[in-house]
Amino acid sequence: MTDRESAPLVTLTDAARHFGPVRALDGVSLSVHPGDCIGLVGHNGAGKSTLVNLINGGLAPSSGEIAFDAGASALEAGVRSVFQELSLCPNLTVAENLRISHSGLKGPGWRRPARAEIARSLDTIFPGHGIDPDAEVDTLSIAERQMVEIAIGFAPRGTEARLVILDEPTSSLDAGIADQLLSHVRRYCSEGGAVIFISHMLGEVFEVATRIIVLKDGKAVAERAAGGFTRQGLVDAMGHVTADTPETAEAARDFGAEVVRTDQGLTAREGEVVGLSGLAGHGQAVALARLYLSRTSSWHAGRRPEVVFVAGDRQRDGILPLWSILRNITVSILPQGARRGLVDRAAETRVAQDWKARIGIRTEDVTNPVLSLSGGNQQKVLFARALASPAPVVIMDDPMRGVDVGTKQDVYAMIRAEAARGRTFLWYSTETEEVCQCDRVFVFRNHEISAELTGAEITEERILEASFEMQEAS
């Protein structure tokens, strides 16, 4: 673009990263020069975090090359990352956390320089922050922790930070503090530093970025100077180009009584398929988990459960890894078929066989271990577990991860059929295409509902608009 005297800090040449058959990043070329502030935007699963992990050395590329101008590793080249998940040690003080990543602080009396360095960094970025370097991190608020993490990212730590990657740095900062960060990023870049800035707040991206790169499906689909985009243009570039399939015929159905209402404003009626959308990590999963836990008890399980849960994060929330497929399917319906506290094993086998056929679990025998199944088939087991239960409300937390297209169609049909019989579905999905099949959609942003869409309003465009902060950052 503009003439540059200095060599790029980092150069990616056709870098790609595959996870099995999934191409998380599919050949991206990029160079970051001193003074650059690159805004990185893209929808869920576009490859943002994979790209960041390639640059900071967290992952090695499957193909392509990454070169640094100084030193062989990201650490030596002065690349720093500030992650979205908090990576501080909560039991240590602010200054002690700096010590963890600053091996130059040695000998007796290391505390004084550590305190001075972190205080200087905090003062520079967030004037008037009011954070005591001797405060333990777990006594700080989430916003303060994020400020500390950013300050450690920019602190010299014996060498010099030359490229700082900020992944959603403002997600828990209020507008005033976020502004301080944005001005620091501008100042830092004008002094020759480089920043990669990832945010769902498009206003912020426009405010700081000199260049904006749009990622979609693991590819850089657009790269222009920030002035070359309009907000609408950016949203369009992130979206899928596929033509909308008209599914609005279903919206005309009548629904029964309201069966779910939460403090947040999430509602659902009998027979309705309610979608939850927005960028990942904006409170959808938390809202669903809280709803589920509030409707069930950890002290008794009756024969008539009110809600069931379909997990998307199979390892964390769904699969019981030591068990067979059969036992995984029937774990939620054990009390229904039991006689004198004993499991009715014949009935249990029937249910599992029945669902194996109905949902097409690819296995010869339902007594095989559940881990012998592929990810998509494990997911079918979780669907079967929920649908086999008589519970009238089904909560689904992004349940289609790793499921192939054919199965998805089958499951959509099954959900429709069950809904027609009066069951209610609450369905959080990171894939907009799925959300567009719902009767009503709640879009989440920053742990709040930012829009409620119904019928013809449910379009990818409207959902994207509601997911990203469109206003100027004040």
Partner 1 sequence: MSLLSKPWLWSWVAAAVAFSLTLGLTSGRGAGELAYAALSFGAFAAIVGLGQMLVITLGPGNVDLSIPATMTLSATLALKAMGSDPNTAMLGLVIALAVGLGAGLANYALIFLLRLPPIIATLAASLVYQSLAIWSNRGLRIKPPEGLADFSTGRFLGLPNVAWVGLVLAIVVWVVLERSVWGRWLLATGQDLRVARLAGVPVELVRATTYTSVAVFASLAGYLLASFSGGAALNMGQEYLLMSIAVVVIGGTSIAGGYSNVPGVWGAALFMFLVVSMLNSYGAGAGVRNVLTGTIIIAIVIAASTRRART
Partner 2 sequence: MNFLARHRIILPVVSLAVLLAATFWMQPRAMSYFGLNLLFNLAVPIALATIAQMMIIMVNDIDLSLGAFVSLAACVTATFLNDAPVVGLLILLALILSYAALGAVIHALELPAIVVTLGMSFVWGGLALFILPSPGGASPDWLRTLMTVKPPFAPMAVVAAVIIAAVTHLLIIRSGIGTVLRGVGGNARSVARAGWSVIRLKALAYALAGLFGVLAGMALVGLTTSADANIALRYTLLSIAGVILGGGEFTGGKVSPTGAVIGALTLTLAASFLSFMRLSPDWQIGAQGAILILVLTARLIFRQKGAA
* Residues in a beta bridge with 277: 443
Q: What are the start-end ranges of the E strands in 121-263?
A: 163-167, 194-198, 211-216, 219-225, 258-261
Name which of residues 326 to 345 contact partner 1 (CB under 8 A).
327, 331-332, 334-335, 338, 341-343, 345
**Residue 338 interaction partner, one of partner 1, partner 2, none, beta carbon < 5-8 Å per kind:** partner 1
Please report the sign of the dihedral spanned by the C-alpha atoms of residue 304, residue 305, residue 311, residue 316: negative
Of the listed pieces 123-131, 157-165, 185-193, 294-302, which binds partner 1 according to CB under 8 A? 294-302
Quote the CA–CA distance of 221 and 194 in Å, as a whole number: 22
* Alpha carbons 35 and 6: distance in angstroms, whole number: 10
110 binds partner 2 (CB under 8 A): yes
| CB of residue 434 to partner 1, shortest distance in Å | 21
106 binds, among partner 1, partner 2, none (CB under 5 to 8 A by kind): partner 2
Q: Does 130 bind partner 2 (CB under 8 A)?
A: no
Q: Which does 414 bind (CB under 5 to 8 A by kind): partner 2, partner 1, none?
A: none
# residues near partner 2 by CB under 8 A: 21
Question: For partner 1, which residue of 158, 321, 360, 455 counts as binding (CB under 8 A)?
Answer: 321
341 touches which of partner 1, partner 2, none (CB within 5 to 8 A by kind)?
partner 1
Give the range of 43-51, 89-97, 187-195, 278-286 binding partner 2 by CB under 8 A: 89-97
Sketch the per residue contact string, 358 through 397, with partner 1: x for CB under 8 A, - otherwise: ---------------------------x---x--------
28 lines the binding site for partner 2 (CB under 8 A): no
* Using rule CB under 8 A, residue 106 touches partner 2: yes
Question: Which 8-state DSSP code applies to residue 131?
Answer: -
Residue reference for tokens 């069950």: 418
Euclidean distance between CA atoms 147 and 173, whole angstroms: 8
Long-range contacts of 346-352 (CB under 8 A, 24+ apart): 351/388, 352/325, 352/326, 352/384
**Contact predicate 329/352, CB 8 Å:** yes
Exposed e or buried b per residue across 294-326, where buried means at least 16 C-beta atoms within 10 angstroms of its C-beta? ebbeeeeeeeebebbbbbbebeeebbeeebbbb
Residue 346 found at the interface with partner 1 (CB under 8 A)? no
CB 79 within 8 A of CB 162: yes
Q: Does 331 bind partner 2 (CB under 8 A)?
A: no
135 binds partner 1 (CB under 8 A): no
88 touches partner 2 by CB under 8 A: yes
The DSSP-derived string for 173-198 is S-HHHHHHHHHHHHHHHHTT-EEEEE
Is 315 one of the binding residues for partner 2 (CB under 8 A)? no
Of residues 110 and 412, the one with the C-beta less far from partner 2: 110
Of 145 and 423, the one with the shorter C-beta distance to partner 2 is 145
Count the helices and strands in the chain (H runs, E runs).
Answer: 15, 17
Pairing of strands 163-167, 79-82: parallel
Question: Which residue number, 335 or 375, has a Cβ lying nearer to partner 1?
Answer: 335
Which amino acid makes up residue 30?
A: L
- Asked if 397 touches partner 2 (CB under 8 A), the answer is no
Q: Which is nearer to partner 1, 63 or 315 (CB)?
A: 315
Among 111, 129, 269, 290, binds partner 2 (CB under 8 A): 111
Residues recorded for the chain: 474
The residues, any chain, with a CB within 8 Å of residue 15's CB and separated by 6 or more, are: 25, 27, 28, 29, 30, 51, 54, 61, 63, 64, 65, 66
Partner whose footprint covers residue 90, from partner 1, partner 2, none (CB < 5 to 8 Å by kind): partner 2
Residues that bind partner 2 (CB under 8 A): 75, 87-92, 96-97, 99-101, 103, 105-108, 110-111, 136, 139
